[in-house]
Chain A
Amino acid sequence: MLKTRIIPVLLLKGNSIVKTVKFKEPRIVGDAVATVKVFATRKADEMIIVDIEATKRGSINIDLIERISKSCNMPLSIGGGIQSVEDADALFRVGADKVIINSKFYSDKNIIKEISRKYGEQAVVFSLDVRRSEVGTKAFSNSASVNSDIMAIDAAKEAIANGAGEIYLNSIDQDGCMQGYDLELIEEISSQVTVPVVVAGGCGDKEHCVEVIKAGADAVAAASIFFWIGESIITIKEHLKSNGIEVRLK
């Protein structure tokens, strides 16, 4: 039976891993390669690695991604600054299993279609950063700084229609707050799509992980709980298991 995935989210800033609050105030939590090595030995099922400065900088640090990939034989989703199929080529070549597309999608829908045609839909993740307001749940780009004015669910459906094989859903307002996931949002999105939904934003307690799976998420993504609370992937998995959720413990 398929196991529920626990996925640490590692944000790159230079050679460091940082953690944000509401996509702002990045605080350094460790060296990139060293941090990845630690998670790899502690039963992380995958890792999401996003360079939060790549779009602004206009380049991807392939050398660092290669060093990260060499330090662990585990599945990696890599994002940040991907503008073209050639960018994706370079990432797959150094060890990415999936590439994560966000900002570029809003100016060029073909980016997903083209990568998917070459690498298959399973290799393309659409990163959906959303914020709720009185006018509905909207999708944001460029590290939550630009409101696309597109409804979140419409953005998700359009990305899937173009060939995205997974949605990485992040609640901007819950990010780094450790107050629990936005369950209503997760139900809304996950019930309307047919691809796996990985959810981030708000995890601060083992029980939050149970809640998010029951709300319809296929995988749990988290960061603060590991860096600030000191919870481990294994204790989270044991908690999920005791709640009847299948996880990988060996």
Chain B
Amino acid sequence: MVKKIGIIDYGCGNLASLHNSLEKINCKFGYISSAEDFDLFDAYILPGVGAYKYGMRSLIDNEMDSSLLEAIKKGKELLGICLGMQLLFESSTEGGYQKGLAFVPGSVDRIEAPQGCRVPHMGWNDLSVNEVNNVQLFNGIDKESSYYFIHSYCAIAEKSVSQVTTTYCQKKILSAFEYENISGVQFHPEKSHDAGLKLLDNYCKR
């Protein structure tokens, strides 16, 4: 069976780039713009360019938070990208405390930068090669590939979550995870050339 992916359109995101990428890998997909649309799809992508508070409010206002939770409970798969990944955790401090979707144990906080270190973390970074195998999304991708990061806040997940990190400012930053039927990436696969396309392909076709 070919999976049909639902891109959650909650008014926060760079949908055009994701759209182009999924077309390139011949993925079957459509958009979810209301709470009723969730049943039409087999798996989901929660994208996101945006601030945490704004994103979470948009999900709640559109009543998508509860529909998504129901779908997850049924065992459907979900991939969060950037802000979409962060929203899966319990909370964030961006713009003041805000509760998240709380599908994954952990929380989001500002990147702690020592003197001389820039925030946002902006640009291409590689992943810890020893950890890449922790997350199946990276199957078949060159371990030394770089991915495009653009964020000021990062998630800290509990140990029960399978994780891959990247190093920035001598600190390990969560870059990808898998937890039951949920996965997430902090970087933008839709902006990360061939490695990013392959990752999306792995998600859409597994």
Contact = CB atoms under 8 A, between A and B. Distances in A.
Interface string B10-41: 00011111001100100000000000000000
Contacts of B144: 250
A96 B191 CA distance: 11
B113 A92 contact: no
Instruction: With a 10 A CB-CB cut-off, give which of B51, B54, B121 has the most chain A CB atoms.
Output: B51
Contacts of A166: 120, 122
Nearest to B197: A73
Given A97-B49, A117-B95, A248 B152 contact: no
Given A69-B20, A73-B193, A117-B54, A97 B150 contact: yes
B167 A119 contact: no
Interface in A1-44: 1-5
Nearest to A118: B54
B49 A120 contact: yes
Contacts, number: 116
Given A75-B150, A122-B150, A218 B145 contact: no
A70 B23 CA distance: 11
Interface residues of B, number: 44
B193 A3 contact: no
Contacts of A122: 120, 122, 150-152
A1 B165 CA distance: 11
Interface string A201-219: 0000000000000000011
A41 to B, nearest CB: 9
Given A73-B197, A92-B49, A117-B54, 15 more contacts: A2-B149, A45-B124, A70-B20, A73-B17, A73-B190, A73-B191, A73-B193, A74-B148, A74-B193, A118-B50, A118-B51, A120-B51, A194-B119, A196-B122, A218-B122
Interface of A: 1-5, 45-46, 66, 69-70, 73-75, 92-98, 116-123, 165-166, 194-196, 218-219, 248, 250
* 8 tightest A-B CB contacts, nearest first: A95-B16, A122-B120, A248-B124, A3-B124, A120-B51, A196-B118, A165-B120, A248-B146
